[in-house]
Amino acid sequence: MDQIPCPECGRVQPRMVGHQKNTAHLGLTAAVFGTGAAAVLVGANDVISRDASAFVLAALAAGAALIHLAIARSDPNRDQEANRDSAARAVESGAVEVIRAGDPDNGEPPPRSPAPATWRTSRSPHSRRWRRWRRWCRSRCAT
């Protein structure tokens, strides 16, 4: 699925963005697992030292984490004016056909961010572990 912005509003549909990001995450994960497996095999067969193999795996994991974060944080809708221009060029070249004009005020809303629910730490006041810790501390301080 190509990521083509709307010629009217310049936004890329959330489903297109999700498909593109999913493909990027899967491709990166496959490349990292393949490279990691090769590093483990090379280290296990003493082609390079095991310490060097472990260092390669750690660097690979850190690099993959940074790239995954960059993929997740990318926003194709950050510059809607440039999106409108690229969509207009695609329509003029014939690569994109407008079947019916859309309404820029009546589009699909962007997806909600999962950040508040998924980024909770164990120190969050809402976590069960934190509440148990506070109760334990209060019971010890009260005596």
Token digits of residue 134: 């506070």
pLDDT of residue 6: 80
Which residues, including other chains, have CB under 8 Å from residue 17's CB and lie 6 or more apart?
A: 3, 76, 77
Helices (H), 46-127: 50-73, 80-93, 115-118
Which residues, including other chains, have CB under 8 Å from residue 88's CB and lie 6 or more apart?
A: 7
The predicted-structure confidence for 93-129, as pLDDT tens digits, reads as follows 888 777 777 666 665 565 555 555 454 555 555 666 6
Chain Cα centroid distance, residue 130: 28
Token digits of residue 30: 């496959």
- Could you give the CA distance from residue 57 to residue 104 in angstroms, rounded to a whole number? 47
Per the CB < 8 A criterion, the answer to whether 43 and 53 are in contact is: yes
Whether pLDDT at 90 is above 70 = yes
Whether pLDDT at 25 is above 90 = yes
Per the CB < 8 A criterion, the answer to whether 34 and 40 are in contact is: no
pLDDT of residue 12: 82
- Could you give the CA distance from residue 19 to residue 112 in angstroms, rounded to a whole number? 16
pLDDT band at 84 (very low <50, low <70, confident <90, very high): confident
Per the CB < 8 A criterion, the answer to whether 126 and 120 are in contact is: yes
Token digits of residue 102: 């859309």
Whether pLDDT at 28 is above 90 = yes
- pTM of the shown model: 0.60
